[in-house]
Every structure is written in C-alpha cells, then in structure tokens.
Copies of this chain bind each other. A is one copy, B any other.
Amino acid sequence: MRKLTVKDVAKEAGVSTATVSRVLNNSGYVSEQVRSQVLAVVKKLNYQPNSIARSLKQEKTRSIGMIVPDMTNSYFMTIARQLQRKCMEIDYHLLIIDSEEDPSKELKAMQVLMEKRVEAIVLAGTGGNQETIRAMSNSGIYILLIDRRIEGITADVVAENNRVAAQEATRLLLQHGHRNIGIIKGPQAIHTAVERYAGVREALVQAGLQVQQDYVYEGDYSRESGIKAAHYLLNLPEPPTAIFSSNNEMSYGLYLGMHELGMDLQDIEVVSFGDLDLSPLFHNRLSVVQQNPAEIGEKAGDCIIDRLARNSRERITPPIVRKY
C-alpha cells in the first residue's frame, strides 16, 4: 500500500518519467497517443502527484500564509474565506494561523510560514514584531497588510477607511442631539483602534465640542472589556446619553453590561463599529458601521495575484497603499 510515484506510472505506461511529468503538467511536446495512454494509467492506479517533491524542485510552494488575530471572529474569517476562494482559483492554498492577538504567537506564526516557504503573507497584525516583518519583507517575501496598518512598516495595505467611518458614525449621534457621548475605544497598539478614536475626536471637535477623558474608556476589543466599559460609563455622575463603541465584541459587552445594571437597552443610543447579530432588533437605538470583510478578502486576493503574476524578484516598486 505504498504511495505511487511517477516512476510507477512511467513503468506501467511504458514511457519515461519525463513524459509522464509532461502529460501531467501540459508542458512540452507529447503525442496525443501517449498522452491518453498515460492519463489512463494515472486514473487506473489512482496516482496522486506528491506536491512536496514538486515544490522542492520548482522552488515554488503555491501557498500563501495568513495570520489573523482571532480565528473565531467571523469578520476575519469572512476575509479568509474570500481569499481562500481566490487562492483556489489559481491553484494556491491558504495557510491560516491564529495569533490570538499575541505578538509572541504572531512571531512564531511568521517563522513557521517562512519555513514553509509561503510565497506571500497576508497579515492582520497585532501591532508588534516590526523588526521581523521588515526583515521578512527585505528577504523577498511579499507581505500584505489587511485591516490594520502597522506603525513603522511600509507595505501594501488593504483596509477600510476607519477614520472617516468613525467620523460619520459620531456625526450621527451629534445630529440626534447628543452632547454627552461616551467612547469605548480599542487598544491603542492596534491601528484600527487609533484611527477610529481619531475619527471620533475629529467629529467632536468639528462640532465645537471637546473630548472629555472621563467619557473615554479603553477596552481591548474583547467582550469582557465591553462589560467593564458599561459599568464604568453608566455609573458616571452624569452618564452619557449615547455611546460610540469601537468594535462589535465590545458592543456585545456593552449590552450585557447594561443588562447587568438592570437598564433598558433602549435607554442609551449606541453606535457600534462592526455589525452585531440581531442588530435589527435594536434598530431604534442602535446603529452600526457596516464593514465589508468580503470585499477586503477580494481585494487582498487581487493584490496577491497581481504580485505573484509578475514573477516578482526584479522590481523594487514603491508600495501601493490602497485604502477603501
């Protein structure tokens, strides 16, 4: 029950291994006669080429790596799915690793991907490991940042325009007459969190208000921190009448916290970055900034294909920065 090799096929078909390879790869010249003969044998023996050997010889692994900060978050996995589809189309495969928002795990992941000789890395980073990222980029591997920019790294980026979106979300609250707005911001190591917070501040300043630090709570994008934020903000002497929440997990936490406090969910107007399941049920008092992960995945795939197509190596182009 040993695995078959190209030699077995060659022998059975009465040709050389070179010919078998040519048939399998549609390369070089091979007569129609022999071609079908070989294919018949392949089918008969149920031969499956060893892609490891192929990769070694061709010095191409036909694989790309992806590092996400939370594998259980459907936002990132929607990106991943779209990317995987694109990869499949060009016969590549996607190797997904979860960094769990932990820079040291991220580092490990990058090393693994390097050893696996992936041809590109799609990275939604934790914000750390700048030196390693730079080193890898210099060593020739294509690095594409998604969702989050990373400070000090110049590379292609596919991301949403968090700042403008946050501005608009904030303006919505202002238009509804709120002047006392609570802010649940994300961890300031993460680019999206910084951008969103900046957007909120800008909108407030434009409206002639100033940001009161008392009304800002820094969470870590987790549900638990949303609960804490709720307890903090809603127990202020003069609680906010509206809250901006920087991501959906924290918004879940916010609602859970309100529930713990015995409040009616409608007591506060909320605007959340990222959709919530069941959000339609809250629609009178909840607005969300719709994100479009599928589109990010799509565009990331295009970037990758673009780069891999031109056999790379030669050009040292300035990074293309794409914002959507």
Most chain B CB inside 10 Å of its own CB: which residue of A52, A97, A281? A52
Judge whether A81 is part of the interface by a CB distance below 8 angstroms. Answer: yes
Count of this chain's copies in the oligomeric assembly: 2
Cα of A155 to Cα of B84 in the assembled complex, Å: 28
How many residues of A sit at the interface, in one of the four size bands?
35 or more
Cα of A55 to Cα of B116 in the assembled complex, Å: 10
What residues of chain B lie closer than 8 Å to A51, measured between beta carbons? 115-117
* In the complex, chain A residues 260-292 whose Cβ is within 8 Å of any chain B Cβ: 265, 276-278, 280-281
Cβ-closest chain B residue relative to A74: B72
Cα of A278 to Cα of B46 in the assembled complex, Å: 50
Cα of A1 to Cα of B88 in the assembled complex, Å: 29
| Partner among B56, B97, B252 whose Cβ is within 8 Å of the Cβ of A278 | B252
Cα of A276 to Cα of B278 in the assembled complex, Å: 9
* Distance from A254 Cβ to chain B, minimum over Cβ atoms (Å): 11
**A to B CB contacts below 8 Å, 21 in the list:** A48-B115, A49-B115, A50-B56, A51-B116, A51-B117, A52-B56, A52-B116, A53-B56, A71-B80, A72-B74, A72-B78, A77-B77, A81-B100, A84-B98, A93-B112, A93-B116, A96-B96, A256-B281, A265-B281, A276-B277, A278-B278
| Partner among B74, B100, B140 whose Cβ is within 8 Å of the Cβ of A73 | B74
Per CB-CB distance, the 9 closest pairs between chain A and chain B, nearest first, are A72-B74, A51-B115, A72-B77, A71-B81, A71-B77, A277-B277, A52-B55, A52-B56, A72-B78
Chain A positions 33 through 66: 1 when the CB is less than 8 Å from some CB of chain B, otherwise 0:
0000000000000101111110110000100000
* Distance from A55 Cβ to chain B, minimum over Cβ atoms (Å): 5
Cα of A51 to Cα of B53 in the assembled complex, Å: 11
What residues of chain B lie closer than 8 Å to A80, measured between beta carbons? 71
* In the complex, chain A residues 72-105 whose Cβ is within 8 Å of any chain B Cβ: 72-74, 77-78, 80-81, 84, 88, 93, 95-98, 100
User: With A50-B117, A71-B80, A93-B116 given, is the CB distance from A255 to B281 under 8 Å?
Assistant: yes
Cβ-closest chain B residue relative to A135: B46
Cβ-closest chain B residue relative to A108: B88
What residues of chain B lie closer than 8 Å to A114, measured between beta carbons? 48
Cβ-closest chain B residue relative to A78: B72
Cβ-closest chain B residue relative to A95: B95
Cα of A117 to Cα of B252 in the assembled complex, Å: 42
Judge whether A307 is part of the interface by a CB distance below 8 angstroms. Answer: no
Judge whether A259 is part of the interface by a CB distance below 8 angstroms. Answer: yes
* Distance from A242 Cβ to chain B, minimum over Cβ atoms (Å): 19
Judge whether A139 is part of the interface by a CB distance below 8 angstroms. Answer: yes
